[in-house]
């Protein structure tokens, strides 16, 4: 399957917990003021790569703790993101995913992907709520959500609440 990406960071220390393979997915319609990755907005920009190439690069690195789907808006390419997420789970890796959607407004069609996501960082970047001290997110409205616990407990459980 093909995926349109802005870039890959094979060993990232800033896109989630531990050492992570970060996939910067191409395309976002939100145009948040102050967005740090405006080059990822063009839906036809970036480049097309085969998900198998990314999966084999992930598989080759025994140091990884997980993968991070970021962008851009990962939920614009749900099927490809899901393929990467499923492969990562098969390798015993955690999956973090950024999205401009809030948890409460996630589209139902994202459910197959979200079933394989451990941690969701939700919400648009809001320039007025920007805070450089925040870990793994740009503005205070964004939440680092432990998606598995949130689903099990039927209430939002933040990742930081469990020792992150």
* Residues 38-77 interacting with ligand SF4 (rule: CB under 6 A): 40, 71-73
Residues 140 and 120: their CA atoms lie apart, in Å, by: 15
Range in contact with ligand SF4 (rule: CB under 6 A) among 6-14, 32-40, 85-93, 111-119: 32-40
Residue number with CB closer to ligand SF4 (30 or 148): 30
Q: Residue 37 interacts with ligand SF4 (CB under 6 A)? A: yes
Three-class SS of 151-164: HHHCCCCEHHHHCC
Q: Residue 96 interacts with ligand SF4 (CB under 6 A)? A: no
ω into residue 72 within 30 of 0, thus cis? yes
Residue number with CB closer to ligand SF4 (36 or 47): 36
Residues 23 and 16: their CA atoms lie apart, in Å, by: 12
- Beta-strand ranges (E) seen in the chain are 2-12, 20-25, 47-50, 66-71, 94-98, 119-122, 143-146
Q: How far is the CB of 37 from ligand SF4 (least distance, A)?
A: 5
Footprint of ligand SF4 (CB under 6 A): 28, 30-32, 35, 37, 40, 71-73, 100, 124-125
């Amino acid at each position: 399957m093909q995926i349109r990406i802005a870039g890959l960071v094979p060993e990232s220390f800033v896109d989630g917990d531990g050492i992570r393979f970060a996939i910067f997915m191409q395309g976002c319609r939100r145009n948040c003021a102050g967005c740090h990755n405006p080059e990822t907005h063009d839906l036809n920009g970036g480049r097309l790569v085969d998900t198998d190439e990314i999966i084999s690069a992930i598989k080759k690195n025994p140091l990884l703790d997980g993968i991070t789907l970021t962008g851009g808006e990962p939920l614009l390419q749900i099927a490809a993101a899901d393929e990467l997420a499923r492969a990562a789970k098969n390798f015993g890796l955690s999956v973090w995913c950024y999205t401009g959607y809030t948890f409460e407004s996630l589209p139902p069609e994202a459910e197959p992907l979200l079933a394989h996501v451990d941690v969701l960082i939700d919400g648009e970047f809001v320039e007025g709520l920007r805070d450089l001290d925040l870990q793994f997110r740009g503005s205070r409205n964004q939440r680092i959500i432990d998606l598995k616990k949130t689903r099990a407990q039927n209430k939002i459980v933040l990742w930081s609440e469990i020792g992150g």
